[in-house]
Structures are given as C-alpha cells and as structure tokens.
Amino acid sequence: MRPQPFCWIWAWVDKTVITLTAINDLMFDSFEVHKTLVIAPKRVAATSWPDEIRKWDHLRHLRFAVAVGSADERIAALQSDADIYLINRENVTWLIDESGLPFDYDMVVIDELSSFKSGGTKRFRSLLRVRPKVKRIVGLTGTPASNGLMDLWAEYRLLDMGERLGRFITHYRNAYFAPDKRNGTIVYSYAPLPGAEEAIYGKIADITISMKCTDYLRMPECVVNEVNVRMTETEKQKYDDLRKDMVLSLGDADIDAVNAASLANKLSQMANGAVYDENGKTHVLHTHKLDALEDLIEAANGKPVLVAYWFKHDREQIEERLHKLHIPFRSMDKDDGIRLWNAGAVPVGLIHPASAGHGLNLQAGGSTLIWYGLTWSLELYQQTNARLWRQGQTADTVVLHHIVTERTIDERIMAALRKKEKTQDTLIEAVKANLEV
C-alpha cells in the first residue's frame, strides 16, 4: 500500500523541529525513510534547519548536508553521506534537470509550500515530474491560501498528484469557481461557487493538519496598532494628480505610470514618502512616515524594534534618519545582523518581507515590529509578523505597528489584508487538528 502523502499546515507553530522529529522517527524507529530532501527558502535552508538540528538533544545525531552555494558546492553536498539534504527552492530545477544526480529521495519536505502555488513555474513542473518517485511528501506553510482558494490546486497537485483537487487547474476552476472580474472574454479573477469552500475543505481534510500556537501553547498577547500620518494639501495634490492622470511632473522629471499595476506601485511609494522617476532617481515627497518611525522608536524606550520596509528608497531614507539620530541598526538579510539581533545587541533591525520574511527565528531579539511600508501580499505580511509573534517569544506582548498614510492607497492595502485574512482563517479553521482526547 502506497504511504499517504501529508500536508502539515502549522500556523505559527515551530514546524521545523516537529518535522525533524517526525523524520527522525521515520528513519530510526519505523525505518520507513532512508533519505530526505528538504526544499526551503535559501536562508532558511542554510541557517534555520541546521540550527534546529544542533539545538535539540534528540536530533543532534542527524547528519545533514546543505546544498546551497556554487554548483560544485551543491554537488559535493548532495553526494555526501547524510540523512537530510537541504536545498533552496531556486535550485530545485537545477537539481532535477541539470545536476545529473539521481533523484532518489524517498521523502521530500517542502518548507513554505505556498511558494509552489503557481503551476506555471519551472520548479513546480520539475518537481511534479519526479513526484511519482517520492513515497512520502510533506508540505509546510502558515499561509496556504494567501491570495484565495485558487492557490490550493498547485500545492495539493504536488502532494497527492491530483487525487483530491484534480490533475488540471481548469477542472478545479470549473468545478469550484465562477468568473468574477472580467473584460469581455478576458477573466481577471474567479470567485468560489456557493458551497465550494466547504467542498474543498472536505476534499483535503484527510491529509491536512492545521495547528495554531494560540490553541496549544501559551502565546504572548499580540497588539495590532495603526499609526496614522497625513500629507499636507500640497503633497496630497501631487498624489491625486498622479492617481487621476497617471503622470506627474516634479521639476524637470516625470513620474509616469504605464498601467494600473505601475500606478499602484507609484502611489505606494508616494504614501511612504518618495517616488522613483522614469530614470530610477528618487524624489522625496514628504517625511511624515520617517517622523512617525522616529516617535515609535523613541516610545520603545530602548527596547529593540524591527522595521519592515518595501522599497529601496524606504530603506535609504530610514538608514539616513537613523544615522542622524545616532541609532545603531543592522539588516536581517545578513547572518551577522540576525546573530546580533537575536543577541539583543541591535536597537533597530531592518527587514524586507520578500527576502527575510520566511522561516527566520528573530523572536529572541525583540517583540516590536513596525511596518513602515505595507505589502499587498498576505503571505509575506503574516510570515513577517511571525518572525516575532511565535513560539519561543519571551515577552508578554508583541506589538505590530502599521504606519498608514491617510487618504492614500495604504488604507486600501490594510483593508485588502484584512479581507484576505478572513478567507485563509476560514480554511485553517476547517482543517484544524483536534488533538483533544
């Protein structure tokens, strides 16, 4: 009988050590697994998984190889004698299609399964091709449907090879969704049919486990706060001119939005305080968010704060302000920055959600996160929050500040995040594990 695949959805639980414990049991207790491949974000594969193996007494005997780096370094790691092989998701296609090495792993763990939510990517197609060779596969994520239920198809296609949600996205879409936003024959989005959510949850429930720290562990209180700032009338007029005309003249430079997506991007920049022109030059519009950030850092009264930014000019302006205030800071995209942050030696840590939002353990360094620049991505938003509000946080309260510029796209982003969160929370509740005896 073919072993059942599993998708473990751990929402803010320490999924790494739990999965490692399961791998250890499968290898050295029941002897069902002999060689495991873990696919994860690069920094998580290189740092978080090895750290967890070294951290726990019952896991220290596990031999692991980190296949991150140059092609020669990756090949050497994959050819070494180990129990667990760790590789970043960007190199999945290389491993399967280019390395020349046999894909002989009898267990595969995909850390952050949501990064395989698109069936059109090369890494999805490569992994799907070798999926029949894998006897056991596990997907881990805290954000299974960050952009809606349509995301689930590709994730479960890898897990059960199409047994539950179908082998083709078109069949899944036709069975559970109807066209929503469209322009003639072009459909931009789909909405679930009546009863579709319950039907989907029922289909996947037998291989899905959902757990929340708040259900099983004593978690610190999470306080969500919005700090509102307002543009002057002159600044707001420039913002409105770009919004209405999709072009704005700033001295001898033009700010041009070629389409709706570009316009949303430019408006987000302006809400944050600066905007790029067509040549990539930064034009500062206001400093209201910088002033609010300074106030929040001062109000922290010496406690470390983590600041999430989105645009490069956000980071440049934040760093310039911190230099003027003589406040030391470090970036979380470097190993030394993470180490110093967790040691409590960094007053301000800077984090970009797309590069450091997944998998990093930052709870030892502080309990306050300030969103300087907002993101439309619910996945990146929740994953970044979970760097501090997670198991192992010793503070009684975790505070999430959001600096929101009034009467701008910031307010729409916050509303969109709240709306998406409702859909995902419904999914998690529907498949939540009931461990009570």
Condensed to tens digits (0 to 9), the pLDDT of residues 160-202 reads: 999 999 999 999 999 999 988 888 788 878 889 999 989 998 9
DSSP symbols for 332-397: TTSHHHHHHHHTT--SEEEE-HHHHSSS---TTT-SEEEESS--S-HHHHHHHHTTTSSTT--SSE
The half-sphere exposure of 29 on its side-chain side, counting CA atoms within 13 A, is: 7
**Does residue 78 contact residue 67 with C-beta atoms inside 8 Å?**
yes
- In the prediction, which pLDDT does 7 show? 47
Q: How far is CA 244 from CA 69, 241, 248, 260, 263, in A?
A: 47, 5, 10, 11, 10
**Least confident range of 35-39, 164-168, 384-388, 398-402:** 384-388
For residue 341, name the pLDDT band (cuts at 50, 70, 90): very high
**227-282 pLDDT per residue, tens:** 999 999 999 999 999 988 888 888 777 787 878 788 888 999 999 999 998 888 99
Q: Domains of the chain, with CATH numbers? A: 6-216 (3.40.50.10810), 218-230+286-406 (3.40.50.300), 232-285 (no CATH)
pLDDT (tens digit per residue) in 89-107: 999 999 999 999 999 999 9
Least confident segment among 307-311, 327-331, 433-437: 433-437
Most confident by average pLDDT, 7-16, 359-368, 424-433: 359-368
Q: How far is 122 from 95, CA to CA, in rounded Å?
A: 12
Secondary structure (DSSP) of 260-320: HHHHHHHHHHHHHTEEE-TTS-EEE---HHHHHHHHHHHHTTT--EEEE--SHHHHHHHHH
| β-bridge mates for residue 247, sequence order | 256
Average pLDDT over the chain, rounded to an integer: 87
